[in-house]
Every structure is written in structure tokens, then in C-alpha cells.
Structure 1
Amino acid sequence: MSGANRDRRLAEAISVRGAGRHELAREQLIALADEFPDDVEVAFHTAWAHDLLGLEAAAVPFYERALGQEGLSPADRQGALLGLGSTYRVLGRYETAVATLRRGVDEFPDHAALRTFLAMALYNTGEHREATGLLLHLLADTSQDPTITDYRPAIDYYADHLDETGD
């Protein structure tokens, strides 16, 4: 099959998914994934289609395939790391979720959604202090609320010193 045909079919499946026809998009993407098993972009979009339908366990191998080699754009790599980490968390694979999301935050430290989902996974592993600190830093970094921005330095400080007292 020609690359142009693959590109056209992938674009069509993405458009179908965007139109909310998730099952049809999943079927189209599975067919593409069968024809192009080493195509990381097809694997990523196939995983995403499964996730949209609540088929998290079926999404995992596609996410893993997408991340298993080079070739994803930075935006798709961010999405794949977030999707896989979130999927692991939903499946109760909390330690693996934390490892995947940490990898995502290490690669893309300014990606707020990766940091947010990492905090959720940390909560699930009992790392409440780290989860809270991460969310406090995120709040301080991203909020435009004047009642937050006025206290940004204090919030940033205490995010790393939650157990500190004035004693």
C-alpha cells in the first residue's frame, strides 16, 4: 500500500474520531494497525480510539507499540505518555502508571496535564505529600486567579515544605 493511501486513511479515521464516531474510527484504525504494525503514529491513534470507548486494556499494547520506537511527533509523544500512564492508572497498575507519567514529566516538564495525572497516580500509590506538592506547584505555575498569584511565592515554598511548622 502506498504511503499516500495510508496517510489518507489515517486522516479519515482521525476525522471520523473527531466527529464522535468512535467505534467506526476504532475499526478503521485497527485495520490500519494490522497493515502497518510498525507505524507508531497509527499505533498511537489506535490506542486513543480504544481509550475513547473505555477499552483501556485493549489500548495498552497500542500505546506501548507507539512508544516503543522513535517517530512520534512531540505532541503525539506527550499524548501517548499521558494516555498510557492514565490507562495504567485506570487499570489499577499504579506503580507502572507513576513510572510512565514520571517519564512523561521528565521529557516534558512544562506539560501541565502530565503533571496532573502523575499527581493522581502518586495519590494512588500513597505518595500523598508528593502528589499534593506537585499539584500546589502546578496551581502556582498556572493560575491567573489573583488570590493565588498574590501568594505564589508562599505556595511554591510550602509545596516543598508541607510538614514544616513555625516551631
Structure 2
Amino acid sequence: MPTTPTLPPEARARLDAAVRLRESGEAERARAELLALSAAHPADPLLAYQTAWVHDVLGHEAAAVPFYETALAGVGALGAEDRHGVYLGLGSTYRILGRYEEAVATLEAGLAAHPGDGALTVFLAMARHNTGAHREAMGALLALLAETSTDPGVRAFRKAIAYYAEDVDRVEG
């Protein structure tokens, strides 16, 4: 994870400690520390992302959104893994809050930045389903299944599944 240029070393050390707290199951303590750091460094994208993440862990999705949006505004300063997490976190949070169009737009941007990513594909399919784009959602899931499944039955019909992923409503005859 690259060092975020706007965060001084002491704040970075506190951020790292807060992440360890979250990872060890002490999300409330991590949240308190991250909120204090965010107040002092409101534009730092890595800090905003970690603050959003801890809110999601605690089930406070609505409170996570402004932090995710700050992280997204500075996403170019983040490493690839954190950029991926911002797109996935914000997109899935928008979706769970019923903000489906914003979820689709965010997850599409995430897939543009991380082509072929399975997790982004799945969450985008869910968001598309929520917007009524059922054919696109099912097609994306079928394509991912055909491409990545290790299930012997799916592997046996991989070519057919991939064929119908292109148009799940196709009728031959």
C-alpha cells in the first residue's frame, strides 16, 4: 500500500494501528480512532477509505458513503488493491441503500479500472438486477460462471453457458 502523500508519519502510524484494530475484531475502537484522524485530515483518500470500511463492518452503510466518496475523489493516489476496494465498497454500499443507478455507475467505473474482476462483476450484476436490467445481470453472471467455475457439471456445459451468456433469452428454432 503506497504512502498517501497528505498524511504525516504519525497519522499514518495511527491509521495503520486502527486498521489492525479493525482486522482483529475491534471495529468500534478502530472507528473512534479513524473518525478522530479523519477530522484532522478530511481529504486523505486512504484514511477516508479505511474510515468508510470500518463503518461498513459495523453496519453503518449510510455513514460510510461520504468517506467512500472522499476516497473515490482521490482514488488515483491509492494502490491498486485500495482502489479496487473503494469501487467495490462504494458500489455495494450504494446498492444496499437503494441507490441503484449510483451503484451501477460506480461499479462500472470499477470494472473499467479493473477489467474482468469477478467481485466487481457480481456486485454490478446485482445492481443491474435492481435497476431492472435483468438480461445484462444474468448474462454477466453466466459469463463469469462459464469462465471461472471448477464445478464438473458447469465445465461440461461451459461452451453452451458462454453462448447463452451473450443472450440469455435466445430461442433457436
TM-score normalized with structure 2 length: 0.92
- Quick one: distance in 1 between partners of 2:47 and 2:139? 36
* Match 2:81 to one of 72, 75, 81: 75
- Unaligned segments of structure 1, at least 5 residues: none
Offset of residue 158 of structure 1: 0.6
Q: How many residues align?
A: 167
Q: Spell out structure 1 runs of 4+ moving beyond 3 A.
A: none
Q: Which residue of 2 aligns with 1:65?
A: 70
Q: Which residue of 1 aligns with 2:4?
A: none
Q: Which residue of 1 aligns with 2:145?
A: 139
Task: Confirm or deny that 1:18 pairs with 2:17.
Answer: no
RMSD: 1.4
TM-score normalized with structure 1 length: 0.96
Q: Look up the SS of the partner of 1:103 in the other structure.
A: helix
Task: Confirm or deny that 1:42 pairs with 2:58.
Answer: no
Task: Confirm or deny that 1:108 pairs with 2:111.
Answer: no
Letter in structure 2 aligned against 1:143: S
- Quick one: distance in 1 between partners of 2:117 and 2:126? 15
Percent sequence identity over matched residues? 52
Task: Confirm or deny that 1:90 pairs with 2:99.
Answer: no
**Contact 2:94/2:103 (8 A) holds in 1:** yes
- Quick one: distance in 1 between partners of 2:8 and 2:147? 42
Q: Look up the SS of the partner of 1:154 in the other structure.
A: helix
- Quick one: distance in 1 between partners of 2:154 and 2:167? 18
Letter in structure 2 aligned against 1:31: A
